[in-house]
Structure 1
Amino acid sequence: MADDVLLRRAVDADARAAADVWLRSYAAALPTVRCAHDAADVQDWFARVLVPQYETWVAVTQDTVVGLLVLNGQELKQLYLDPDWRGRGLGDRLMDLAKRQHPDGLSLWTFQVNRPARRFYERHGFTEAERTDGERNDECEPDVRYVWRPQTS
């Protein structure tokens, strides 16, 4: 269960495993979207950029990375789960962590075709703010920007 999973800041040694989760998740969730980078490029990106330069968190069980969250200020850059871990509450835990880290609000981009991710974000209070034709992303895939602002009393 997701309760047995430790959420912690990523260290350099986690980069390869986190990249592998990203690659598996991307392939499973977005089979119709061309991945703009090969596995070696993704692994390099995690090792050189995401883990050392961003607020990167990993979800770990039995020394295995099964999920990841990457924040850059108030932008949620990445939230990916190993496909076997979808539907177990781990995504909810990572989203709760993101909101605790940035209680003033978050924004993110996802592909328009990624309906499960869009439902997930909407369930967590994100609202659609913008759509593009994908000209600004590496995949050239139409995307949608979501924002979350905390409820004010």
Structure 2
Amino acid sequence: MIITAASPTDAKTLAELHRVCRQKAMPWLPELHSPEEDLRYFETRVLPVETVLIAWEGGHAAGFVSFHQGWLNHLYVAPDCWRLGFGTRLLEAVRSDLSYLQLWVFQKNARARHFYTTHGFCEREATDGRYNEERVPDLRMEWARHDRDH
């Protein structure tokens, strides 16, 4: 596995991986955007603003993570790469220089909640979903580096 910084030319790869992962991991989520809208989102809102890292395996994107100002905004791993350490490696790459990180996760996404809890995140706030685009209940989780983490 190789982890590289994403470039603007990776927008299509990110948009496609995002769509496939969401459909497989969270089939209960409403599909609100077209593939073209997903591409535009990554081109205009994610890549120009956030730090985005891509995990590559055998020349294919196996997963990606994006973060900005203490928020982990995306962490997706291709379904055929689940439980092979890609998510852990991407998360470690993000946390290596940070002391605090927070994120939103859907309450119903048990796999993601377990992953983040296993990696030291704590659930801090639950909502009914009225403020997210999908209108699905979510949770804010936090991680903070402690001296024992060094």
TM-score, normalised relative to structure 1: 0.93
Matching of residue 121 in structure 1 with residue 116 in structure 2: yes
Aligned length: 148
Match of 2:125 among 122, 126, 130: 130
Q: Report Cα offsets for 1:4-38 as digits up to 9, x if no partner.
A: x1111100111101111110000000011112222
Tell me, in whole angstroms, the C-alpha distance in 1 between the residues paired with 2:60 and 2:48: 20
Tell me, in whole angstroms, the C-alpha distance in 1 between the residues paired with 2:140 and 2:31: 19
Tell me, in whole angstroms, the C-alpha distance in 1 between the residues paired with 2:26 and 2:112: 10
Alignment of 1:4-153 (within 5 A): 5-102=1-98, 104-152=99-147
Hey, which bits of structure 1, 4+ residues long, moved more than 4 A?
A: none
Which ranges of structure 1 fall in alignment gaps of 5 or more residues? none
Q: Report Cα offsets for 1:92-116 as digits up to 9, x if no partner.
A: 10111111132x1100001000000
Percent identity over the alignment is 30
Which ranges of structure 2 fall in alignment gaps of 5 or more residues? none
AA aligned opposite 1:114:
N
Please give the root-mean-square deviation of Cα atoms over the aligned residues, in Å.
1.1
TM-score, normalised relative to structure 2: 0.95
Tell me, in whole angstroms, the C-alpha distance in 2 between the residues paired with 1:101 and 1:74: 11
